Structure 1
Amino acid sequence: MVRPFDATTKRNIAEACASFRRLPESGKPLALKRAAVAVALTASSAGNTAFLLTIRASSLRAHRGQWALPGGRCDAGETPVEAALRELDEELGLRLTDDAVLGQLDDYATRSGYLITPVVVWAANSTGILPNPDEVASVHRIALEMIEREDAFDFVAIPESGRRVIRFHHQESLIHAPTAALIYQFREALAGRTTRVNELEQPVFAWK
């Protein structure tokens, strides 16, 4: 489905986020470090709704060169929403306020010890994106219709885990969890489905 980047689409996505019921906080491992990412919605080159996806800088200590949603670790005393908005500013020069937030999806626990909260935000004016080269190698606008294709995602088994690895097929690239899992749940929420992704696995190279 093609969604113009306009007030009607913003309202529809806000309603989908409001209908999504997050998993409760209780029962989540206390040892995990809190982190947040932004599902930042903006206009594609065709004027339709897209989200921002980055490739991490090659100089980063962890997960260098991988596809990722903008985000990072929560600072002490910082909420996931505050962290997601701060990271958007630090990584992309995109300054948004609380009124840009449309909702949150389920937390996702990573093999590397983080509990990631996805925050959906409406980036009404993203023409001035300036990627921070210390953190971001490149930034891409992924139209929502690309994640709604039937062949956009697949699930494969690996010998190291009883959980299925999720993969998002983007052009010639395979994007894995946690990023793929978070994008998949957002896709499902757009369709009015509360699909859980906490049991979807990451590839072994992302376990560290």
Structure 2
Amino acid sequence: MMRPFDDATRRNIADACAAFARLPDAAEPSTLKRAAVVLALTASGDGDDTAFLLTLRASHLRAHRGQWALPGGRCDAGETPVEAGLRELDEELALKLTTNDVLGLLDDYPTRSGYLVTPVVVWAADGATIRPNPDEVASVHRIGLATIERDDAFDFVAIPESARRVVRFHHQGSLIHAPTAALIYQFREVLAGRPTRVTELEQPVFAWK
């Protein structure tokens, strides 16, 4: 289903996020480091669909080099996930948004590499300038929402190292894995009004470090 990049779609996605009941924060302090990623919604660029921004990480980065990722990173001291997500979006893509552009949050996702990641859904107004920072981003891609709503967009596979299934997102011949794939999958489910949880979806072994 195509979702035009317009005010009606913005309202519909904001309503879907508002209707989604996030898992509550754990009562005890977590040993995981806090981080945030952003599902930044914008025009698809080659049609009428709304899209989100996906980056390919620079090949010279110390961690997870050359991997697909949503814009984001670790929270600084005293910084909320929303503040961190907006800051990282600016640092990586020169996309300057405010809390007024935030549509909602998805479930926190614990990663094998020691982070608790909060996904922040934001709306980037039509005409917003995107300039990838070459120190962090090799390329940036617009993924239409119709793409993630296909029946064959995701699959779930078993691995011998874990009892949990690995989730994968198929896109243009590439396999995008969790945590990125898990967060995109939950966003797809939220758009459909399904309260699907993804914290138990596994990451491939190469992402455990």
Query: Considering the TM-score relative to the shorter chain, is it more than 0.5?
Result: yes
Q: Aligned residue for 2:62?
A: 61
The whole-number CA distance in structure 1 between the counterparts of 2:61 and 2:163 is 30
Whether the aligned pair in 1 keeps the contact of 2:34 and 2:74 (CA below 8 Å) is yes
TM alignment of 1:73-152, pairs within 5 A: 73-152=74-153
CA distance in 2, matches of 1:26, 1:32: 12
Letter in 2 for 1:55: L
TM-superposition CA deviations, 1:156-188 (whole Å, max 9, x none): 000000000000000110000000000000000
SS of equivalent to 2:186: helix
- Alpha-carbon distance in 2 for matches of 1:156, 1:107: 22
How far did 1:128 drift? 1.7
Q: Quote the offset at 1:145 in angstroms.
A: 0.3
What's the % identity of the aligned pairs?
Answer: 78
Count, aligned residues: 208
User: Can you give the 5+ residue segments of structure 2 that lack an aligned partner in the other structure?
Assistant: none
Whether contact under 8 Å (1:166, 1:176) holds in the other structure is: yes
- Structure 1 residue 28, shift from structure 2 partner: 6.7
C-alpha deviation, 1:29, in angstroms: 6.1
- CA 1:171–1:28: 2 relative to 1, 3 Å: farther
Aligned to 2:35: 35
Distance 1:166 1:22, change over 3 A: same
Gaps of 5+ in 1: none
TM-score (norm 1): 0.98
| Displaced runs of 4 or more, over 4 A | none
Deviations 1:91-149 (A, max 9, x none): 00000011000000000000000000000000014542110000000000000000000
Give the superposition deviation at 1:26. Answer: 1.6
Q: TM-score, structure 2 length as denominator?
A: 0.98
1:24 is paired with a residue of what secondary structure? coil
Contact 1:92/1:129 (8 A) holds in 2: yes
Q: Which residue of 2 aligns with 1:197?
A: 198
Secondary structure of 2:195's aligned partner: coil
Aligned partner of 1:6 in structure 2 is 6
